[in-house]
Amino acid sequence: MQKTPGTPRPQPNVTRTLVGKVMINWHQLEPQCALRELRVDASLGLSAPEAARRVSQYGRNELVASRIKNPWLILWEQLTALMILILIVAAAVSALLTDYKDAIAIGAIVALNTILGFSQEYRAEKAMCALTRLAAPIAKVRRSGKMREIPAIDLVRGDIVVLEAGNFVVADCRVLDSKNLQAQESALTGESQPVRKLSGPIEASDVALGDRRNMAYMGTFITAGRGLAVVTETGMRTELGRIAGMLRSVKREQTPLQRRLGHLAKQLAAAVLVIVTLIFVLGLVRGEGLKLMFLTAVSIAVAAVPEGLPAIVTIALTLGSQRMLRRKALIRTLSAVETLGSVTVICSDKTGTLTENRMAVEILQLADRKLEVRHSASGEGNGRYPELQQAGFGLLLAGGALCNDAVLQPARDEPGAPIAVGDPSETALLVVASQFGLMKSDLERILPRVAEVPFSPQRKRMTTVHAIPDHSSLLSHEVRMALQGAGAPYVAFMKGAVESLLEVCGTVWVNEQREELDQVWRSRLLAANDHLASQGMRVLGVAFRRCHSIPPPGEEETVERNLTFIGMIGIMDPPRVEVASAVMTCKTAGIRPAMITGDHPITAQRIAAEIGMAGDGPVLSGTQLDRLSKDELRRLAETATVYARVSPEHKLNIIESLQQNGHIVAMTGDGVNDAPALRKADIGIAMGLTGTDVAKEAADMVLLDDNFATIVAAIEEGRVIYDNIRKFVRYILATNSGEIWVMLVTPLLGMPLALLPLQILWMNLVTDGLPALALGLEPPEPDIMRRPPRPPDESIFARGLGRHVIWVGLLMGLLSAAIGAWYWRAHDPKWQTMVFTTLTLSQMAHVMAIRSERLSLFRIGLLSNKPLLASVILTAMLQLGLVYVPFLQSVFGTIALPVPDLALSVAVAAVIFWTVEWEKRLIRQQAPACQ
């Protein structure tokens, strides 16, 4: 509740506790009380000695930059990750085996992953540096009775500063005097429109930051007017400083993929150690040479470790980020691509993301009827609006366009699409009038403005006076009827708050005539105003009167008497057209969207209901959040979908509560106030068009079109990428285990080593090569956005992948070992070549069969992934080259296979393909909805 400075009232409780410190509620104090508390005279300001003393007491007016982690430490952490260590060992062993190509390839993979990881983490560490750039370099301050300009860093508590349009606010200040002072605070509070600043105290102690109309905060921007203020907090004690402190304290969590791959690396390291030791011991027991067994064991170790996994992950994420860029999503942190696929909750800002970030007229309300505006491109004319011919609407639109300081300017690139410049609410009036064919330029040419009474916060209205032409065919019949009157050459149009207009109106315009504005009409109009306001709209009334003369200078307000009330206009920031379907897609995909905004709860609730985001949970305001315990917030966070009037702490607490409940959270934001939550979220998403540098630095992804629907498209891409990574793991571990089973089983059958070290390394090269890379190009499966998000703690082996790896690897190994044993017992020298060829072709059959986890290859189409088909054909041809080219035969120890033997290898490989197809059929039968 706002009160005038001179109104006597009880002294409020002026202290509050925040982060263990006692702070003064400056917004509750009268201006003179604030000055006394700060021990300063507004007419003199601080003296130089007193300012110096306060600098030593409170510190300089600067934000303390976050200490950036030592680059060498970041590099060391990248190189000591378990999977990277395994790869380094594999590269060293390959070099010892003189397999320099493999060593170079593995080394390149290590270097690529290290460079990417280092650059991403180092860039994230610099988010605070962008925050410090928000501090204004110069401040206009009163010191020892004189106005002077000083570096903003030298400001102290108690300094008297001047706030002027076009300047940043240099510290947190209590407004002492306001001359139409307005500030854009969206970067700090999320409020989309400029806030008009007043000097009077505010009664409530727990009022939200965006409602403290008598305070100006560091980092915000003065858009209009002029004011005088006293500095209340500087540096890290400001609201911006508190955000900087939170940003420093937030630690980035590991992504789901990083956790899964780390767990996989540990499992593989343990398994490889056991298997290699077992094969080495079995070979020595059978009497094999120590050198041969050492080379074999090392080869098996290299084969068992999927050194291609980091490369495949990196390539898949890179390709995914490129596809996302084409869909207007810029990825700053590569791992965020996969994290998107795990998202269970999207916390989205309202303004500009869910809405169009422009004010638009929704309702034209007359005394006896209303019209819902159908938004269309400017310049379509009024052919689509026969309602314009009804009495009242034309006059309402003309009055709103004439009593208006905004202008329509032609766009440079699109001559047919004018751009509205001015106050957002006034530009909305011009745009809707132009949609009805009423251009302000035409109206002002016919009815030129000759006088005006500017808007003031006290009157809550503005009035313009226009000369009436003798006649004009450009005016509608209704407007001409309203302007008729002997001896009245002027007309005054007024717009403003409905309650304010009704105070100075004596009649109401109904069916082209005036009726007395009695209590019945007054009640009906106020009820209509309340109804529109309850829907989250800003409501402006329009009235007019005919004037006999232009009011003399200084007496302009004499025209604001005995007006005729025309009607009211409901304005709001409309939802984006595509958002409702995107929200529905989220819900179908098992993702819960939630709105977290600095706007008013009524506005937030209206938008949420319109786009289908409103659920059964409560609408929580910042004041309510302050009263909740952590356990209560965790419980309510499971159902709440709308949070309004929230502060940076609230956003951070909401994110933490959702994460503690086991959710993977995506958070969108554009302001400085969003930076801590963006960094804390599993995936931070900044706005590219309206976002601050601080928000972009703290985020993992930037929306180039600020569109919620783009987030949903990015989530789909993230799911595709994770599916393809799982397909690679399924493929590579099953084929590698097939090789290991062959090496384990054949000694038990009394056979020599079934595969030579070089043959093992060859299979490892071709299976980890082109076919594996091509799996990363697999298109999305049809049900990708109809299934729920995977659980955050789900193992990469979940949903049957581990079972598949075991039985396919075992089947592949046993079949290859069996065919080798058959030829070996027949004393056929081609037995080792048969094992080698059968195992390689089986791996190619396997990669074709696992292109989908559920659907048959014949359903998705053989040509739907042409790079994979080409890589399989190429690998098969290379394998045949090893078998039939004499030079390669001597290198790899192979023997040419007759056609029947080759046909037998192909037939055995086909068994792998058909058994995997049978497995997928069983899966479809168990879950028919996925077909």
Q: Is 41 part of the annotated catalytic residue set?
A: no
Could you give the CA distance from residue 899 to residue 832 in angstroms, rounded to a whole number?
16
Within 8 A by CB and 6+ apart from 163, the residues are 169, 173, 175, 181, 183, 197, 216, 222, 226, 227, 228, 229
Ordered DSSP codes for 834-886? HHHHHHHHHHHHHHHHTTSSSS-HHHH-TTTTHHHHHHHHHHHHHHHHHHH-H
Q: Which residues pair with 142 in a beta bridge?
A: 147, 160
Q: Tell me which DSSP letter residue 778 carries.
A: P
Q: From the candidates 99, 102, 211, 349, which is the catalytic residue? A: 349
Within 8 A by CB and 6+ apart from 108, the residues are none
User: What phi, psi does 113 have (nearest 5°)?
Assistant: -65, -40
Could you give the CA distance from residue 686 to residue 703 in angstroms, rounded to a whole number?
6
Could you give the CA distance from residue 767 to residue 727 in angstroms, rounded to a whole number?
13
User: What phi, psi does 625 have (nearest 5°)?
Assistant: -65, -35
Task: Show the CA angle centred on residue 521, arms to residues 516 and 522, nearest 5°.
Answer: 105
Could you give the CA distance from residue 522 to residue 724 in angstroms, rounded to a whole number?
66
User: What phi, psi does 692 have (nearest 5°)?
Assistant: -80, 160
Q: Are 646 and 596 in contact (CB under 8 A)?
A: yes
Start-to-end C-alpha separation, the chain: 60
Q: Tell me which DSSP letter residue 787 carries.
A: S
Ordered DSSP codes for 757-768? HHHHHHHHHHHS
Q: Strand locations in 517-664, DSSP E?
A: 538-547, 563-572, 592-596, 619-621, 642-644
Residue 907 in tokens = 């037939």
Classify burial at 224, counting beta carbons within 10 Å of its beta carbon; exposed 0-12, middle 13-18, buried 19 or more: middle
Ordered DSSP codes for 381-442? -STT-GGGGSTTHHHHHHHHHHS---EEE--SS-TTS-EEES-HHHHHHHHHHHHTT--HHH
Residue with tokens 């300089």: 60
Could you give the CA distance from residue 590 to residue 252 in angstroms, rounded to a whole number?
25
Q: Are 288 and 750 in contact (CB under 8 A)?
A: no
Task: Show the CA angle centred on residue 635, arms to residues 631 and 641, nearest 5°.
Answer: 130
Q: Are 464 and 451 in contact (CB under 8 A)?
A: yes
Could you give the CA distance from residue 375 to residue 542 in angstroms, rounded to a whole number?
21
**Which amino acid appears at position 39 of this protein?**
R
Within 8 A by CB and 6+ apart from 383, the residues are none
Q: Are 344 and 591 in contact (CB under 8 A)?
A: yes
Nearest to 681 by CA among 340, 192, 352: 340
Residue with tokens 């390959």: 94
Q: Which residues pair with 407 in a beta bridge?
A: 421
Nearest to 597 by CA among 566, 570, 619: 619
In a 3-state reduction of DSSP, which class is residue 109? helix
* Torsion-angle region of 73 (φ positive above 0: left; ψ -120 to 50: alpha; else: beta): alpha
Number of CB atoms found within 10 A of residue 908's CB: 21
Could you give the CA distance from residue 371 to residue 877 in angstroms, rounded to a whole number?
72
Residues assigned a catalytic role: 349
